[in-house]
Every structure is written in structure tokens, then in C-alpha cells.
Amino acid sequence: MLARVFSAALYGVEAFEVDVEVDVAAGNPAIVIVGLPDAAVKESRDRVITAINNSGYRWPRARATVNLAPAAVKKEGPSFDLPIALCMVITGEDVKLPRLDQYAFVGELALTGALRPVKGVLSIALWARRAKKKALFVPAANAREAAIVEGIDIYGVNSLRETFEFLRGERALEPVKQDLDAYFQAERNYDVDFADVKGQLDVKRAIEVAVAGGHNILLIGPPGSGKSMLAKRIPSVIPPMSLEEAIETTKVHSICGLLDPAHFFVALRPFRSPHHTTSDVGLLGGSSNPSPGEVSIAHNGVLFLDELPEFKRSTLEVLRQPIEDGKVTISRAAGTMTFPSEFMLVGAMNPCPCGFFGDLKRSCRCGANAVQKYRQRISGPLLDRIDIHIEVCSVEYKDIASRAPGESSAAIAGRVAEARKIQQARFRGHGKTNCNARMTPKLQKAFCQLDDDGARLLKMAMMELDFTARAYDRILRVARTVADLDGCENITSVHVGEAVQFRSLDRNWWG
């Protein structure tokens, strides 16, 4: 006797169909799982049998072969428990369930027969809709997440018994309905705001320019100057995520198991701050059980690398691909897979090993060599991808003591949104480029023409302030953004002048 149930597995952030078939033949009671199962899938066998017993059903006490097709792709994790168990019960109880092929099932079984949540349900629900399934059955704790997808019935089920009773027509279940728009709107408030930051007007301005043009930024300042505080507030001035962006980010968080029934949808831009001891796999993703890394969890948000020089040089090197391409490719024995990784990179560092180089109140204890060595730990190619450097000085007493709130995130976000609109219009029809930071050399030539005064100032700055050559293009791009914030078509010397200040690490006097 044969039973067949549809399920799905993950590859990267997408799900694909897996047919779970159980064939029962005469022989000693045994279950064999074939079709490239990993260890967690193999363990399914014991969970499934105990869960069926504890649910009060019969399973075929004969030789059962469980086949997961397509056989060529590795199947991982415990999410096939439910479909396997259903096949076993169908054959054991010898029932016919007519509409079974219109449904798909995922879920991990506890020994009691209760269902536990699984990872990646949003991607699976998107697959189920593409596959034109009428309904998807998921563990109750995953139901709201799956129900983000409209146009397919999502049933949140608590146990094997509940599922089987529904399939036999012995129990009524209602598909999960929710007002996603209302949830999305309600969740779109950050709990931090730039109004909390006293003073630091120049740093806030640099952040505004960075976000407006999609530029990565590096904050350089002594301990306690507020670098972390400022960085955490950056997502609150980026234009709000669209529903599509939110779904793309939620897919990644779902695969990482970061969601729960109360927070089943990522409506806010993520802020990720991996420690400098995080492994390359933790940062980029990978390992034997494919899971996205921090660069992908930060997708559509901010990746904050605090104490940038403390990161291994090799680690900073591997960040180049995700920064450049907005995606990360992971090679494994089973093939390569891709995860999205479009984030704004925000770095922070002390100006020197002791932290107080250039500080007005405390003196630096580091020798010139030590300072230079410290800065050189950040590789040139990485620095090339960070358009804006800004020094963050300790906040002044009069600012800290002031009761006046700083400018709010909403006000900054308003100006950012205007500048982004200008860029969208500018780059329409220019492929992947959607902001000034992503201009190709050709686009830069077309859109970053300086007037005479601007050109003169830039030439002077390059020579007199002793800039390295790499600074030139960065200054042009940033000047474009400053002009956009100003609502100016032409880049003038005022815009160039401001952009020049944002390249402190490229000035050779730094060491």
C-alpha cells in the first residue's frame, strides 16, 4: 500500500516541493527513510512512531519505506515529521482521503503527538501558493507567519490528531485570517529616536547624508562618545520598508528561527551588531545546516560593525562580496546557494588603540606607529566601500545638560525621503543603480559634473589636504548627495566643501 503527501524544503531563501511517499510491503516491522535525509530527518523515524502511538493511531507493522522526492537534493531538519506521520497513519489505519493532494504539510512532532514550530514557514507558504495548493497545514505557532501569504488557506494545527481528524472530516478548523496591513502599520515604530541624542549636530548631519545617498559610513571617536547610540538610530531615518522588502527580510528571519507568534513579521529595518569575534560562518552564513549569516539577517537594514579594527582582516575581506553585490553566495557540498544581503554598513572605531587620539580632554598614550598600525588593520578595499568617515567627539557638557531634545528621526527622515525621490527619478532606467552610492563610473561621469568653483575647490582639497587618490570618486558621489539634499541640480563648491570633510581617514596626516 502506498500513501503520498506534499511537503516542502528550503534551498537558500526559497522553498521547493518535496513529495513524501510511504510504501508498505510485507516484512518485519521497520522504517527506512530514503532520498538524502540528514540526521534530523532520520531521527524522524523514532519521533513519528512514538507520536503515532501516543495519538492512539495504528501504523503499519510491516516494512515501510519512506521516500523523499526529489531524491537528489539533501533534506534537512525535522519539518517532514508531520507529512511522514500522516502517510504512516493513512496506511496503518487504511483510510482514503480524497482531497489530500490539494494540501501541503510541514511540522515537527513532539513525542506526545503535539506539533512544534519549524523554520522557513513563510518561504514554504509562498511556494504552496505558487504550487496552487488549496491549503497549507503548519504548526499553530507558525500560523500567523504563514498567513502573511494571501490567496491560500493556512491552517495552524496543534497536533497530529487534530490534523488527521480534520482530514477525515471529524473536526472543523478555520483557516487563519489576519489583518496584515493593520499589523504592519502598528509595528512600524522604532523605540529609539535621534531626538534622544544631544548635540552632535555634525555627526547627525553626516548620517543624514549617508542615508540619503545610500552611502556606508564609519564613525570614529573615543569611548563613550555615543557611536553605538547614534548607529542604533540609523534605521529610524531610512525610508520605511515596503511590504515587499518586509517580506524578503522576514523570509530570512524565518529561516533563522528568529520569529515567534507575537513577532511573526519584520516590519522594521533590522539593526544587527555582530561582535568582532563572530566567525565567518556566523557573519556570512553557511555551515552544514544552511543558515543565513548576520549580513543576511541585516537585509534591508543596518549592519553595525563596532570596533572595526578588531575584526580579523580576512573577515573584513570576505565582507566585500555582500557589500558589493547585495547578496552572498555560499558553497557547500550540496551545491551553492544565495542569500540576500542588502544592508547599509555602519562601522565604528576608536581613533587609536587607547581611544583618545585627538581628544580635547584626555591625552592619547599611543605612539605614532601604534596609531598607524591600528588604522591599517582596516583594509583599503573595505575602506573604498565606505564613502563617509566622520569623527565623533565626546559630547559637550552644555549639550548633555540641555533639556532641549535633539532633532527627531521623523524630521531627518523627511529630508532623506525627498533626496531619495530625486535619485529614483535620476536613475530610472539605469539598471541596478538606485542611489548615488551605487553609481557606476559612467553614471558618475554623467551626473557628477562640478561647476568651476566646485572643481577648483576639489583640486585644492586633493592637494592641500593631501588626500589619497581613492578619495576623489567618493567625494564626488557624496557631493552629489549633498546637492540632492539641497534640492540642487548642480554640484557647487558648497556641496564639495561639505563632502571633503567626510573623508578624514583618507588624509595622509592620519598616519
Report the partner that residue 354 touches, choosing among Mg ion, ligand ATP, Zn ion, none (CB closer than 5 to 8 A by kind): Zn ion
User: Which CB sits closer to ligand ATP, 70 or 224?
Assistant: 224
Q: Could you give the angle at the alpha carbon of 358 between the alpha carbons of 354 and 359, nearest 5°?
A: 75
For the CB of residue 308, give the shortest distance to Zn ion in the complex, in Å.
16
User: Which CB sits closer to ligand ATP, 384 or 399?
Assistant: 399
Single out the residue of 47, 144, 215, 227 in contact with ligand ATP (rule: CB under 6 A): 227
Of 194, 250, 202, 103, the residue nearest 409 (C-alpha): 194
How far is it, in rounded angstroms, from Cα 251 to Cα 292? 10
3-class SS letters over 431-467? CCCCCHHHCCHHHHHHHCCECHHHHHHHHHHHHHCCE
Decide if residue 351 touches ligand ATP (CB under 6 A).
Answer: no
Decide if residue 274 touches ligand ATP (CB under 6 A).
Answer: no
User: Which CB sits closer to ligand ATP, 199 or 292?
Assistant: 199
The string over 219-228, giving b where at least 16 C-beta atoms fall within 10 Å of a residue's C-beta and e elsewhere, is bbbbeebbbe
For the CB of residue 373, give the shortest distance to ligand ATP in the complex, in Å.
19
Decide if residue 229 touches ligand ATP (CB under 6 A).
Answer: yes
Say if residues 144 and 117 touch (Cβ distance below 8 Å).
no
Decide if residue 228 touches ligand ATP (CB under 6 A).
Answer: yes
Of 103, 100, 148, the residue nearest 123 (C-alpha): 148
Single out the residue of 35, 92, 120, 221 in contact with ligand ATP (rule: CB under 6 A): 221
Stretch that binds ligand ATP, among 55-63, 227-235, 275-283, 450-458 (CB under 6 A): 227-235
User: Which CB sits closer to ligand ATP, 224 or 367?
Assistant: 224
Q: C-alpha distances in angstroms, 461 versus 388, 453, 468, 472, 501?
A: 16, 12, 11, 10, 10
> Scanning residues 186 to 245, which ones bind Mg ion (CB under 5 A)?
228
Report the partner that residue 357 touches, choosing among Mg ion, ligand ATP, Zn ion, none (CB closer than 5 to 8 A by kind): Zn ion
User: Which CB sits closer to Mg ion, 88 or 230?
Assistant: 230
For the CB of residue 219, give the shortest distance to ligand ATP in the complex, in Å.
8
Q: How far does Cα 38 stand from its chain's mean position?
A: 26
Three cell numbers, residue 415: 529630508
For the CB of residue 306, give the shortest distance to Mg ion in the complex, in Å.
5
Q: Output the CA torsion sign for 476, 480, 485, 487.
A: positive
Stretch that binds ligand ATP, among 226-234, 375-383, 427-435, 451-459 (CB under 6 A): 226-234
Three cell numbers, residue 152: 491560500
User: Which CB sits closer to Zn ion, 80 or 356?
Assistant: 356
Decide if residue 214 touches ligand ATP (CB under 6 A).
Answer: no
Decide if residue 364 touches Zn ion (CB under 5 A).
Answer: yes
How far is it, in rounded angstroms, from Cα 496 to Cα 455? 8
Decide if residue 223 touches ligand ATP (CB under 6 A).
Answer: yes
For the CB of residue 187, give the shortest distance to ligand ATP in the complex, in Å.
25
User: Which CB sits closer to Mg ion, 228 or 321?
Assistant: 228
How far is it, in rounded angstroms, from Cα 46 to Cα 488? 68
Please give the sequence-ordered ranges of beta strands (E in DSSP) within 14-77, or none if there are none.
14-25, 30-34, 63-69
Of 228, 230, 189, 190, the residue nearest 211 (C-alpha): 230
Stretch that binds ligand ATP, among 77-85, 131-139, 220-228, 373-381 (CB under 6 A): 220-228
Single out the residue of 123, 142, 200, 492 in contact with ligand ATP (rule: CB under 6 A): 200
Please give the torsion angle defined by the CA atoms of residues 124, 287, 270 and 242, in that order, rounded to the nearest 10 degrees.
Answer: -40
Report the partner that residue 198 touches, choosing among Mg ion, ligand ATP, Zn ion, none (CB closer than 5 to 8 A by kind): ligand ATP
How far is it, in rounded angstroms, from Cα 506 to Cα 290? 39
Q: Which chain residues interact with ligand ATP by CB under 6 A? A: 197-200, 221, 223-229, 395
Q: Which chain residues interact with Zn ion by CB under 5 A? A: 352, 354, 357, 364, 366
Q: Which chain residues interact with Mg ion by CB under 5 A? A: 228
